[in-house]
């Protein structure tokens, strides 16, 4: 790269090794993201296809999810509340 800073892979690796490790809570949250995304997508897909389920979600989100065996995280609940405008 002309006129700028060019770092090779080895140099970048050395710089990255100098950083502190990510906090454990960040690592755990990142590991849970794919599962949470699948659960969220499954709930939304089902709500779009099933009028009774969607109605139950809108009436009482947490109770409807618990009745169907979902144990969503706070993040999923927040996203569903934003999506469906529930409180």
Instruction: Spell out the domain ranges in the chain.
Output: 23-84
Q: Are 87 and 62 in contact (CB under 8 A)?
A: no
Angle between helices 51-59 and 24-49 (to 10 degrees): 130
Would residue 54 be called left, alpha or beta, if left means φ above 0 and alpha means ψ between -120 and 50 degrees? alpha
Q: What is the pLDDT of residues 64-73, one digit of tens each?
A: 999 999 888 8
| CA gap 17, 4 in Å, rounded | 23
User: How many Å apart are CA 81 and CA 79, to the nearest integer?
Assistant: 5
Spatial distance between the Cα atoms of 10 and 53, rounded to a whole number of angstroms: 53
Q: Tell me: the pLDDT tens digits for 21-60?
A: 999 999 998 998 898 899 999 999 999 999 999 999 999 9
């Amino acid at each position: 790269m002309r006129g700028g800073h060019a770092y090779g892979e080895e140099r970048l690796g050395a710089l990255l090794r100098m950083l502190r490790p990510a906090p454990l809570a960040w690592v755990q949250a990142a590991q849970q993201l794919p599962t949470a995304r699948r659960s969220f997508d499954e709930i939304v897909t089902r709500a779009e296809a099933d009028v009774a389920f969607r109605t139950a979600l809108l009436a009482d989100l947490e109770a409807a999810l618990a009745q169907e065996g979902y144990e969503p995280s706070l993040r999923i609940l927040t996203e569903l509340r934003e999506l469906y405008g529930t409180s």
